[in-house]
Amino acid sequence: MTRPTALPAAESLNASARPPAQQIQIVLCGTSHPGNLGAVARAMKNMGLSQLVLVAPTAGIDELALATAKHAADVLHHARFAADLPSALADSVAVWATTARPRELPLPVWTVRAAAECIVADQQTRAGLISLVFGAERTGLSNHELSWAQRVIEIPANPDYPVLNLGQAVQILAYELYIAQQSPPLMAAVETKTSAPLAAQATLAQWQAFEDRLANLLDQTPFFIRGALLESDIADNRTRLMAKLRVACRRAQPLSSELALMQGMLTALTSAPHPEAAPRAPTQGNPQ
């Protein structure tokens, strides 16, 4: 068996330059079996998808992966590598995570078919990179990984044996996307005439920059302590609370201009008081 081929480093991509078929990327987290890489590549090419991102895989693109992919080996050869999920999603304006079971994070849960119709409507009418994220074979996506998404796609299965092979899960979603693409252009069910285009929405990289800045400022306050005595417990509080904030903000799908406003607020709050600024007394009662 040959040695696994090296994976190219992740690069920032210009989403507006992609043809419509390339506005969707499949993101695999921690894939551990090369045969699954090949099965995913084959499922993607069968349904017209070509953008594959591998996040910290433990499986290499070896003879087994290429043999399983068969005529879809080009998908593997052009796959991008990312060290972590935020890096893989940096250019994304819409992130969908897949799971076979509900999680405690308060993210909207969509059926596969409804999600495919919404994704294709976005793809047909607006610009921006859309990422579909799949977890590792044994564990699926962790809550931390799910927290980077805006919506969840639940793939239901027989409760007596609900575990789908990774290639099967990708095939199901890719098939629904392909079928939705054959239909006349649709407006996404969650959109209105006043909705901003995907291209105007903040990318994950822009949101992460804001989150990192806010977390670093909160580190200088007792906010993350919450009665904890050990540094490890404080760190756990930090991870948990920032994940909750991330879910709330990503679910709201902030625009780039709105995120810039929030950055400006942080700058103002951390700057020296303006000489002409006068503190205001708290407002009593509800405003009329």
Which ranges constitute the DSSP H helices of the chain?
34-46, 63-69, 73-77, 85-88, 112-125, 143-146, 166-181, 204-218, 231-252, 256-269
Burial of 77 (0-12, 13-18, 19+ CB in 10 A): middle
Q: Which contacts (CB < 8 Å, 24+ apart) does range 252-256 have?
A: 253/94, 253/150, 253/201, 253/202, 254/201, 254/202, 254/207, 255/196, 255/200, 255/201, 255/202, 256/200, 256/201, 256/202, 256/203, 256/206
Query: 152 by DSSP, 3-state: which?
Result: strand
For 235, the 3-state DSSP assignment is: helix
**Nearest CA-CA partner of 107 in 142, 146, 141, 139:** 146
Look at residues 103, 102, 192 and name the one whose alpha carbon lies nearest to residue 144. 103
d(CA 261, CA 175): 40
Report d(CA 190, CA 127) in Å as an integer. Answer: 17
Domains identified in the chain and CATH numbers: 21-181 (3.40.1280.10), 200-269 (no CATH)
Which tokens go with 47?
């349904």
- Residues 6 or more apart whose CB falls under 8 angstroms from that of 27 comprise 53, 55, 85, 88, 89, 131, 132, 133, 134
The answer to whether the beta carbons of residues 98 and 208 sit under 8 Å apart is no
User: pLDDT tens digits for the chain (288 residues)?
Assistant: 444 444 444 343 344 444 555 789 999 999 999 999 999 999 999 999 999 999 999 999 999 999 999 999 999 999 999 999 999 999 998 999 998 665 667 788 899 999 999 999 888 776 789 999 999 988 889 888 988 998 999 888 888 887 789 999 999 999 999 999 887 655 444 443 334 555 577 787 887 888 888 888 888 888 888 888 888 888 888 888 888 887 777 777 777 788 788 888 888 888 877 666 666 665 555 554
- pTM for the whole thing? 0.70
pLDDT at site 92 = 92
Count CB neighbours of 17 within 10 A.
Answer: 8
Q: What is the DSSP string of 266-287?
A: HHHHTSPPPTT--PPPPPPS--
Q: Are 129 and 93 in contact (CB under 8 A)?
A: yes
Q: Which two tokens stand for residue 120?
A: 């294709």
Bridge partners for 173 per DSSP: none
CB 85 within 8 A of CB 29: yes
* Residue owning tokens 């081929």: 5
CA distance 144 to 131: 16
Bridge-based pairing of strands 80-82 and 109-111 is: unpaired
